[in-house]
Amino acid sequence: MMDWTDRHCRYFLRLLNPGVRLYTEMVTAQALHYGNPAELLRFDPTEHPVALQLGGSDPALMAEGARLGAAAGYDEININVGCPSDRVQSGAFGACLMAAPETVADCVRAMRAAVEVPVTVKTRIGIDDQDSYEFLRSFVDTVAAAGCDTFVMHARKAILSGLSPKENRTVPPLDYERVYRLKADRPDLAIVLNGGITTRAECERHLAAVDGVMIGRQAYQQPWFLTELRDLAGIVGPDVPSRESIVEQMLTYVERELAAGAELKHITRHMLGLFAGQPGARRWRRYLSENAHRRGAGIEVLRDALSRLAVAA
């Protein structure tokens, strides 16, 4: 979810479901070492529970990144072993690390020694022609032996040459049964399934076989979907708020962020799908898209967009 699940997005999604665990977009350990950790790791306390996803392959740098993340207050540090982009491969991390399970295990050991919060791994079920169940099981066993007991499984293999990152999200076929089999073979591990989940019924079906589900694009493109999962995330009452009230709740946050130097367009871009499937949804998207980027744009843009929804209804 690079460039998608930034802190503005996570604050917005938290309003829709107080119980789900949120994950940051991937932050590289090198960026934290050489850059501005305070800015890169900034998040709002209302985001809890929230996990920091780290990219890297150097155990010392990954341990440093984990320490910084834990000190910043993150509830979990997750190692990205799933991203297939060329840029990530050139840095020797992401999905290509499935071919180097001992390296991932070394990172887990170093990170677990550095922090007390859980260290988890997000991975694919295989890469290129290394896509047998035995390959996946061996990778998981090696990393689990280093102390990782939670794996988020994107139920597609990654094709590291010949497909773009976008194509890698859709072209390789989903294989949920392989993830189910892994959970059955390793009941001591927490296995979370990711990939292609778009309905509550699918969530319920998967949860009968694994310990959790991770939802990415569906939650971003149609964020209201998260309200349908509140009870699955342990939330019992209060009543689900209206879409309009979610916008109203965002106003204080938007004002605060704008005062701190943020631009409205960087916040509202995550809200474009809030009214998907509702009367006036296109009017909402269009008004935000055309006006949020204007110099000096403030919360009046959101209020005006809401008023156009009322006209459309």
pLDDT, tens digit (0-9, with 9 covering 90-100), for 165-198: 788 778 889 999 999 999 999 999 999 999 999 9
List the end-to-end C-alpha distance of the chain, in Å, as a whole number: 33
Task: Read off the pLDDT band of 240 (50, 70, 90).
Answer: confident
HSE-up of residue 147 (Cα within 13 Å, Cβ side)? 14
The percentage of the chain sitting over the pLDDT mark of 70, rounded to a whole number, equals 96
Task: Read off the pLDDT band of 237 (50, 70, 90).
Answer: confident
- The average pLDDT across 259-269 equals 97
Structure-token match 């998260």, residue found = 226
- Would you state the pLDDT for residue 27? 96
Active-site annotation holder among 9, 83, 96, 107: 83
Q: 83 pLDDT exceeds 90?
A: no
Q: 309 pLDDT exceeds 90?
A: no
- The average pLDDT across 203-213 equals 98
DSSP characters for 184-212? Answer: HH-TTSEEEEESS--SHHHHHHHHTTSSE
- Would you state the pLDDT for residue 78? 98
Instruction: Tell me where in the chain the CATH 1.20.120.1460 domain(s) lie.
Output: 243-312
Domain 7-229 - what CATH class? alpha beta
CATH assignment, 243-312: 1.20.120.1460
- Predicted TM-score (pTM) of the model is 0.94
Average pLDDT value over all residues in the chain: 94
Is 9 marked active-site? Answer: no
Task: Read off the pLDDT band of 86 (50, 70, 90).
Answer: low
